[in-house]
Structure 1
Amino acid sequence: MVWPRSRFKVQVLDDSTDQVTRELVDDKCLEWAERGVACECVRRTHRSGYKAGALKEGMDLLPDCDFIAIFDADFKPEPDFLMTMVPWLIDNPSIGYVQARWAFTNPEESYLTKAQQISLNYHCKCEQFVHFASGGFFNFNGTAGVWRRKTIETAGGWNSRTTVEDMDLSLRAYMAGWKAIYLREVTVLNELPASFFAYRKQQHRWTCGPVQLWRRAARDIWASGLPMASKLELIVCYFGIRKFATHWVSLGFFCTLVPLSMFTPEVSIPLWALVHLPVVVTVTTAVFTPKGWIHSILYVLFENAMGVVKLWAVVAGVLDLKQAQEWVVTTKLGASDKRPGTEHPVKMRTCRFYMGELMMSLLALSAALYGMAAVNRWSFSVFLTLQGLVFLAFALNLVDCGALLGGRLGDGRRREKRMRPLQQAKAPKRTFTM
């Protein structure tokens, strides 16, 4: 990282309980310390507060640092990252944090990672940028960003009341009057989870956390000094519709009501709701991924199949169930790391079975068969057959790395254009804190 060494500190916040990982972290911290970097490992004896707890403890050990850059372990910032991001904070005292855009190293690893790329590209290239450009609230993505220390402190610090500590802090900063900048042209490479189990846990946390925050922060939003339009936009549109209601649509409508309508031919579903609107939404989502239209049908089927996980996460968040506080680290397989000495063994898929997806598969396939045999509704039946097969693939874990749908889509060598040779050099995956 290009920055004066006398004003640069690196912390690796390691909550790992795996001895091999701990030894690797210690070795790399020592190696970089010997190279002249003020690098240390901060290791807790507990996991209280999870990531929020680790960040809080790490920041307490850096009383003299004005800015804090945060990276998850699989993120690969370019050497000029700090030189590009920090000046925005130095020159604009009202700016609380600066967020860079995510880019991905392994979208071709499987159909699962390709579907994730389409979804996250839409979030990073469209949603986040539009919220920023319109002057509204956009959340910190938890990594690949730089915070002003004063902002963190005045907003109340890291809080573990939800599983989305990043959104929580950025929301409190927004209500306190701090502004933020989203730099769409600055990208940081990271790896998409190829393990279906890891992806399920990640999506559960990402879906449940905002609903938890909605419950806990709605009163604070209403009592804040924000304009009335901003309050309504946050409570109703941002959380109520985007983070809550939309998760009921894919599973409740397309995967439940549509199959059931096959058994009641007298019930007519409007064509605009069944075809026109979904096509518009899919195209406008896929357009942000190069050649995303090729995988647009795959993306829709996968998103619908994830509806079981997401809807359960919404329920857990609304009712504040025990599962709402669950934090499972998203396992990354390291397949995008091509440095010498980092070869990985052949991945074997996890032997897991998911009953919810199996039940949805049986519903969709039964409705499709009935539609073809009894009521001659072939257009619906084709969709339901495809959706039922995807539900079955999810139920049998066939989308996991190493499974039937877990192979590479291409040669696996394509990368984002901004990936530089230095990123292939020997460098530990680490969390920077300045």
Structure 2
Amino acid sequence: MTTLVGASACNRERVAKEGKVTQAQAEEYLRDAVHMSSEGVLLEPSAKGLTSIERVRFGEIAQEMRRPAAVCFVERAIQTMSPGEVEGEQAWVGVPEGQIKLRARVSVDGGVLATEVLDSGFDDEEMENCLLEMLGKQRFPESRDSFAYFVDVYYWVSLGFFREAGTERFAKALRREQAQAARRGLPCLRGRVSPGAYEISALNLFDRDGDTVVNRVERGSLDPEISTCLAQAFRAVKIHSEPDAFIRPAAMDVEFVVAEDGAVSFDDERWLELIELEEQAERERKKAELLGDGVDELEPDGFEDPGASGPVDMGPRGPAEPPGPSGPRPEGPAKDPGAGGGAKPGAIKPGAIKPGALGPDGSEADPQKDAPKADPSAPEGTPDEPPQPSERDPSTPGVKLDLSPRR
């Protein structure tokens, strides 16, 4: 009977096989984990009767070991990988992928005394040595019975999923990223190399988010500092994200041409300029639409928007003038009928008679005598204030009517 505790890419959380399982069940569990994920770690401690806390701790250790093991794979892959053919199809050769079973002998205090390889499917010896070195630095739970024990470690790794590899969409996106990287690398060659053509081969390894983890540039006849500069330019290449991916490789080839006058160019330079000009024109067109240009054009359905032929009169823009105060207005100084106005006898100018200027019998009203008496219960206010609508006036905008049942 045995206990398996592990962590893999198919399940981001810690996974533990509860209780005792047979060796056949453990091997089946391992096969399923390998088929479901591109990389992972499983631990099989020899200690018997592990508590739930110890199983959780072993699960945490398995999760922690995934990162340094992945570093071993990535650092080795960037050195050995290259595009090639396998059975007549485009593939990657020299990938340090495989499965391995290691054993760590643990002391009483949790330190690793020795490590060894029990079984390995890796063809790369450097990959095995890196994993053994990583395992030798690991700490495990202390022994409860003051005896040393051992832990079997299962590790597997491969490139993983890459759904859009070989598609036209990915090829076009990678071509643009490659051209932009070449444009960033122009200063690396300008004034530093002799005239001629220089072919650059680059390899980038991307994570699931599309960012470059590590890259390399085949410098050929270039100086090391120039290839380092170009590697920095190609490191900014980014591709689309894939949540289920582990490591996705992409190869890029660029040819730089250095003229006699020192000018540096690269293939796809004109193509990149045309693509950017088309995108800029499209942005300008959309901006013009948002700003209202071309409103008289027909809609895609062939109909015009209401009011497209001209502006619609929506009424006065400013607020209406407030009504004047009620009651008679004080009269100004009398004017000479013959002075400048030119008014004809018997003619009354419009608006000359104000409301309240005549009394009930038709005679001139006394402003103080005939003025309407103020209501004592009315709210006080200044004469220049416009009348405020009642809070219970249903015609006033924003009024909230109380429609609740009466109590």
Normalising by structure 1, we get a TM-score of 0.22
Higher CA-based Rg: 2
Higher helix proportion, which one? 1
Higher strand proportion, which one? 2
